[in-house]
Structure 1
Amino acid sequence: MKNQILGIVILLQGITTTTFAQKKDKELFRINNNSVMVSEFKRVYEKNLGLVVDNEAKDIDNYLNLYINYKLKVKEAYNLKLDTLKSYQNELEGYKNQLIAPYLQDKEALEKLVKDAYYRTVNEIRASHLLIKVSQKANAKDTLEAYNRILGARERIIKGESFENVALSVSEDPSVRLNRGDLGYFSAFKMVYNFEDSAYATEVGQVSNIFRTRFGYHLVKVTDKRKSKGEFDVAHILVRDKSIIGKVKIDSAYQKLKTGASFEDISKEFSEDTGTFKNGGKLPRFSTGTMVEQFENAVLGLKNINDFSEPFKTRFGWHIVKLLNKLPIESYEVARKKIEGKVKRSDRLQASYEAVLNKLKKKYDVKVNEEVFKQIETLSVKDFIAKNNKEWILSIDKVKVGGDKFNDYIKYRRNSNLSELFEQFKNYELTEYFKKDLVNLEPDFKHTLTEYKEGLLLFELMQKKIWKKATTDTLGLKKFFDGNKGNYKEQNLEDVKGEVISDYQQSLENDWLELLRNKNKIIIREKEVKKLKKIYNQ
């Protein structure tokens, strides 16, 4: 019901991007001291003109009457202070954040991210890596120590020592003992974004510059690039025993397959993969970089649909795999929407937000209190909080932000670097300032936000004044039915209760609207109404 009300309000109150050029806007009607201008009514009317086919609904007088009723209801909601309800404010905040979200993304940056992701989906790379762990919250001493260790590792590689040997001797990735740092092939969205970005920026045979992720410092050596093999649907049989006993069992399954037995039946009989044997061994669709290398190589070796492999071994046991389907990479036009969705759900979206931040830093006059900043550069979080600084710490277009606000921001982040926290705080405050300023910068945002505000208020108001009473006031409902029995085919209330409740609601609303009209002074500028009728040929 609430979504329906919001939809109705948006249709009624919806504002198009059309600008109505007027030398001077005129008042169309007034409710007490609140004016509604001709331009507002025209925008609403024209927005809905193409959505109705009923000529009566297009009639200026009828539409004006509906719009006055709408404005009376909204005014009554404010009179009742429904806008102060915590439930209303929380729900409005949720809608507001949804409306703001697109303005916090840079369209050009987002487009580049989508194109880059598509290129990396089409072109996959093979790389080895080396990791020196360091927490994002590490102090300067530990961070520098980790950086110097990876710097030393890079110097060894540049001087000619093999990447694999260096990885084995210093890498803190637990898998290095198994893979000597080799990650196999991967493409977009398989790694954290800054890892992926650094890998794709490195040429085959080269070692990347040092870069940092949330796991620590990394080096990457790219060993190959190739066109993506697409996605695969496969089924498999798994025998977990890696010994000769397991080999005998998998060979037995293979011989049965060679004599024409159903792969699905053999999977149910032999496979020890509890997640797939009941459905014939079918695995979820995957692309390269998802499975262990031996498994992927076996799949890539199958040329035709329904081909199955010879038994092969991975660290999980013995397998036989059957190719069910191959899906090539989609064209950019087909894949774009899906990839954009992945970009928006991934950590790479931060790059789009940073592009917005850079624009905001140029748009607004941001100043830092240098005296306070000197303390930030030298003190720990704990020591800075202890000083209980209350001076302004930064200003945005001359609006000052107090040090106490920064203290609140950092008090639960005591293990973090204070200078980094201040930069984050500055970006946060700048973003919040921009959010508040959006109503002045973007007319569409302002109007849509107003739609949601009034739509949610209207829902609360109708629930309070009409809908709840119509469904709970059994005596009033029966009295209404008894007085209007001639309007219904059935003479038993229970047989037509839904229809009667609907009519009772309308009756209650009509009576209530009459009261609202009587208690408010409404002035209609008939001269302007005539002009509107002329404009719309009525």
Structure 2
Amino acid sequence: MNINKIILGLALALNCAAFAQTEKKEVLFTVDDKPYYTDEFSRVYKKNLDLVKDESQKDLNQYLDLYIGYKLKINKANKLGLQYNTKYINELKSYRTQLSKNYTSDIKVTKALIDEGYIRYQKEIRASHILITLDENATPADTLKAYHKALDVRKKALAGEKFEDLAVNFSQDPSAKENKGDLGYFSAFRMVYAFETAAFKTKKGDISMPVRTRFGYHVIKVVDSRDNRGEISVAHIMILKPTSNNPADTDKAKSTIQDIYTKLKQGENFENLANQFSQDKNSASKGGVLPRFGSGQLSSEEFENVAFGLSTPNKYSEPFESQFGWHIVKLIEKYPIKKLSEMERELDTKIRKDDRSRLITNSLTSKLRKKYTVVRDEKMYAKIKALVTDKYYTGSWLLPSNMKDFNETLVTIDSKYEVKAFAFLKALEGLQKAESKLKPISKLVDFYYKDFEDTQLNIYYNDNLEKEFPEFSNVMDEYRDGLLLFDLMEREIWNKAKQDTLGLSNYFKENQSKYQWKTRVEILTASSTKEDIAKAAKKLFKKDQTADAIKGVLNTNDAVNVMIKQEIIEEGADNMPKNITFKKGISDIYKEGEFYFVNKVEKVLPAGPKSIDDVRGKVINDYQQYLEDNWVAELKKEFKVEVNKDVFEKIKASILKNN
């Protein structure tokens, strides 16, 4: 198989840029009366021009023949129904989802969030907080009550009461009783976005105004700020704290970690000691190695500080105590913050999984509301609202038994896309599980309807990307055809060539002249960094000593002085050693770089035919190409192809002129 000849279908996503189409769109050729146009031919030719290695394929006459062959194969694939294959459908859908991300997000907003996230990544904030919990969909009255409660706590802190005491007494974060509100150090993407933003905007020592997140209202005190320490990879040996309060057990644990430390100083292997003595079951069998981590990701600040305090790989700490036990930590590697260009993709992924993604979605939705006309059937909407009762709050509301009455249009987008009323009812039924407290019920329905309408706008936009963006449509068409072509070639050519052993054998016999050896030699090559060793190897070559015998004489238990490579070299081969002659004998000593070499030609193999086992891979490849060429000829008989020669001459002249 010549990969260049199917590059039209397989090298498709390399360039998403749209080419300027100055030529008038005309029918270039038809396959069974299905038209194919000049604009696509011109675009694909230009797109693949730099990818083809065979200069003949740049010839437009030959390229047209290849292009017609490509379209014939796609027609054959569709005729066989390969487009209905489940695997094909899923792969195409997956690719479209990935590609559409470039069109279904606000690039300007995304870039701003990436830049903001990267700037915040440079710092680590240490903060404490007091949480007043509040449901996301709380009533205005409950929201105001929670806000004032948080505001009162803030006033107490500003008046001089200890923040830690206030956290213990007022915070509804379950962990506050133990940590007194202290969250430790964190950087970007570690907290919900609103909390993170407030923390990074609050100066060291200051206390923020109440900040709303999905958990409720937070009052945040920023305790410290420092440069981000990046991430680190370490191994550790751990002795757990005894469960009893017996001082003897504690002394034994301390003694054990100290004995291990002494063994390390005596030169014993860290990994072996971790495997044998560490009581961290998750890491002991791995030589004590822990997953890579950054500040605030472990539940022990003491451990993190000791780990980041190490500066040299493979150096280890003295024994130290954490709340879990006693440790010795060995540094494996530190990973500083990468450059923005290296982190952009990672940051983009984090943003899409983070609360920040709402900003991108909201920005796009706002643009879509300006772009498309949205018309709601108010009578139908009123009918739906009348159906939803207060039973919704208890989860006992049911859909109407007769949904036929709601098989009418509720909302129309862009005068084309109609959404039925029952779709919104179904959405309401699913949202009932959220147990929203927003009242009265009419306001709750309005709240959910806005989200529903926003979702429908985005669905409509996504479904019409091919119409909105020609370059998106082009890439999808090419990828669609490429997948079909791959499946078709695998079925009709590649698998057949591998499985048809008789056909392969006959093809090899008929084309034996293509598979010939040039003159070859069986050669031994000795190499050493020492000239005297190379000379000694040459003397042993002259005595017809074997490679193993020579290595046995010249190498010792402490040093490998000589390496000997035995191989068969064909005349003209890329890896042919210097000073080689295609006759039996021993070369002079020669030097390349730091090494001295000597060659011994043991046997000369004359030119002659190769066996099929010598070249099976190439024969299979050639046989696949042979089958494909004959198959395309058969496809030209199966389908009626008509080329508009006058149009081809015009498009050819235009392409050559612009190139």
Normalised by the size of structure 1, how large is the TM-score?
0.83
Judge conservation of contact 1:106–1:352 (CA < 8 Å) in 2.
yes
How far is the alpha carbon of 1:431 from its aligned partner? 1.3
Residue from 399, 407, 412 that aligns with 1:385: 399
Q: Which residue of the partner structure matches residue 249 of structure 1?
A: 253
Contact 1:246 1:318 in 2 (8 A): no
Amino acid at match of 1:449: M
Kindly tell me: are residues 449 and 146 of structure 1, through their superposed partners in 2, closer, same or farther at Cα, counting changes over 3 Å?
same
Question: Please, which of 625, 633, 639 is the counterpart of residue 514 of structure 1?
Answer: 633
**TM superposition shift of 1:155:** 1.8
| Shift in CA distance, 5/195, structure 1 to aligned 2, threshold 3 Å | farther
State the secondary structure of the residue aligned to 2:302: helix
Question: Deviation at 1:453?
Answer: 1.7
Name which of 326, 336, 343 aligns with 1:318: 326
2:48 corresponds to:
48
Map of 1:395 onto structure 2: 412
- List per-residue Cα deviations over 1:70-109 (Å, max 9, x = no partner): 1222223334444344443333222211221221222222
2:152: which partner in 1?
A: 155
Which deviates more, 157-166 or 176-185?
157-166
Within a 5 Å distance, the mapping from 1:408-487 to structure 2 comes to: 408-416=426-434, 417=436, 419=445, 420-467=447-494, 469-470=496-497, 478=502, 481-482=505-506, 485-487=509-511
Measured in 2, the distance between the counterparts of 1:322 and 1:479 equals 62
Whether the 8 Å CA contact 1:74–1:458 is kept in 2: the answer is yes
- Tell me whether 1:293 sits opposite 2:413 in the alignment: no
SS in 2 for 1:536: helix
* 1:112-261 mapped onto 2 (5 Å cutoff): 112-133=112-133, 140=138, 145=142, 148-149=145-146, 151-159=148-156, 160=159, 162-204=162-204, 205-213=206-214, 215-241=215-241, 244=247, 245-247=249-251, 249-250=253-254, 253-254=257-258, 257=261, 260-261=265-266
The one-character-per-residue Cα deviations of 1:235-272 (angstroms, maximum 9, x if unpaired) are 44432125543355325644774794458276566542
What pairs up with 1:12-23 in 2 under 5 angstroms?
16-22=17-23
Partner of 2:431, secondary structure, is coil
Is 1:272 matched with 2:312? no
State the match for 2:582 in structure 1.
Answer: none
Specify the code of the residue in structure 2 equivalent to 1:274.
K
Per-residue CA distance 1:468-518 (angstroms, 9 max, x = gap): 55555x5xx636754773213689988877666555554554444334323
**Distance of 2:78 and 2:216 partners within structure 1:** 53
- Taking a change above 3 Å as real, the CA distance of residues 486 and 195 of structure 1, as seen in their structure-2 partners, is same
Name which structure has the greater RCO, CA cutoff 8 Å, separation 6+.
1
Deviations 1:114-146 (A, max 9, x none): 22222222111111223455666xx756x9658
SS of equivalent residue, structure 1 residue 129? strand
Distance 1:321 1:494 in 2: 55
Give the Å deviation of 1:352.
Answer: 2.5
What's the offset of the Cα at 1:9?
0.6
Q: Is the 2:6–2:70 Cα contact (8 Å) retained in structure 1?
A: no
CA contact (8 A) 2:125 2:187 kept: yes
CA contact (8 A) 1:253 1:266 kept: no
The residue that corresponds to 1:109 in the other structure is: 109
Residues 150, 274 of structure 1: CA spacing in aligned structure 2 closer, same or farther, 3 A cutoff? farther
SS of the residue 1:413 aligns to: helix
Distance 2:498 2:284 in 1: 54
SS of residue in 2 equivalent to 1:104: coil
What is the match of residue 656 of structure 2?
536
Contact 1:485 1:491 survives alignment (8 Å): no
Q: Does the 8 Å contact 1:15/1:47 carry over to 2? A: no
Secondary structure, counterpart of 2:39 in structure 1: helix
- 1:524 paired residue among 621, 643, 647: 643
How far, CA to CA, are the matches of 2:293 and 2:347 in structure 1?
Answer: 16
> Which residues in structure 2 correspond to 1:335-374 (within 5 Å)?
335-374=343-382
Cα 1:345–1:25, aligned 2, differ >3 Å: closer, same or farther?
Answer: same
Alignment check: 8 A CA contact 1:15 1:44 kept: no
Distance 1:162 1:365, change over 3 A: farther
**Structure 2 CA distance for partners of 1:516 and 1:219, relative to 1, 3 Å:** same
In structure 2, the residue matched to 1:407 is 425
Contact 1:238 1:272 in 2 (8 A): yes
8 Å contact 2:310–2:316 — kept in the other structure?
Answer: yes
The aligned residue for residue 526 of structure 2 is none
User: Shift of the alpha carbon at 1:450?
Assistant: 0.4
- Identical pairs, percent: 34
Shift of 1:8: 4.4
Gaps of 5+ in 1: none
**Whole-angstrom distance in 2 between the partners of 1:250 and 1:114:** 47
Give 3-state SS (helix, strand or coil) of 2:282's partner. Answer: coil
Conserved? CA contact 2:241–2:250, under 8 Å: yes
**Residue range with higher mean Cα deviation, 388-397 or 177-186:** 388-397
The answer to which of 45-54 and 479-488 deviates more is 479-488
Looking at structure 2, the residues matched to 453 and 371 of structure 1 have their Cα atoms a distance apart, in angstroms, of: 43
Q: By how many angstroms is 1:456 displaced?
A: 2.3
Quickly say closer, same or farther: Cα 1:368–1:151, change in 2 above 3 A: farther
Q: Is the 8 A contact 1:15 1:43 kept in 2?
A: no
AA at the equivalent of 1:536: L
Structure (1 or 2) with the larger CA radius of gyration? 2
Q: Does the aligned pair in 2 maintain the 1:240–1:272 contact within 8 Å?
A: yes
**Equivalent residue of 2:28, what SS?**
strand
| 3-state secondary structure, aligned to 1:412 | helix
Mapped contact 2:132–2:149 kept (Cα < 8 A): no
TM-score, with length taken from structure 2: 0.69
> Do the aligned residues in 2 keep the contact of 1:236 with 1:322 (CA within 8 Å)?
yes
Distance in 2 (alpha carbons) for counterparts of 1:468 and 1:302: 57
For the 8 Å contact 2:132–2:172, the answer to whether it is kept is yes
> Hey, what's the Cα distance between the residues in 2 that align with 1:391 and 1:135?
35
TM-fit CA distance, 1:179: 0.4
Once residues 135 and 94 of structure 2 are traced to their aligned partners in structure 1, the CA distance between those partners, rounded to angstroms, is 33
1:19 shift after superposition? 0.4
**Counterpart secondary structure, 1:222:** strand
Where do 5+ consecutive residues of structure 2 fail to align?
Answer: 437-443, 516-608
CA distance in 1, matches of 2:428, 2:262: 67
Q: CA RMSD in A?
A: 3.9
Alpha-carbon distance between aligned partners in 2 of 1:525 and 1:316, rounded to the nearest angstrom:
81
2:280 is paired with a residue whose SS is: coil
> Per the alignment, in what secondary structure is the counterpart of residue 433 of structure 2?
coil
Kindly report which structure 2 residues correspond to 1:51-62, keeping only aligned pairs within 5 A, or say none: 51-62=51-62
**Does the CA contact (< 8 Å) of 2:381 and 2:410 recur in 1?**
yes
Alpha-carbon contact 2:504-2:620 (below 8 Å) kept:
no
Tell me the CA shift for residue 210 of structure 1. Answer: 3.4
* Partners of 1:502 and 1:305 in 2: CA distance: 49
**CA 298–146 in structure 1, closer or farther in 2 if over 3 Å, else same:** farther
Correspondence list, 1:296-307, <5 A: 296-299=304-307
Secondary structure in 2 aligned to 1:17?
Answer: coil
The offset of 1:182, in angstroms, is 0.8
Q: 1:342 to 1:61 in 2, by over 3 A?
A: same
CA displacement at 1:445 relative to structure 2 = 0.3
Q: Give 1:365's aligned amino acid.
A: T
AA of the residue aligned to 2:152: E
List aligned pairs for 1:85-96, cutoff 5 A.
Answer: 85-96=85-96
**How many residues are aligned here?**
529
Do the aligned residues in 2 keep the contact of 1:151 with 1:210 (CA within 8 Å)? Answer: no
Asked if 2 retains the 8 angstrom alpha-carbon contact of 1:5 and 1:459, the reply is: no
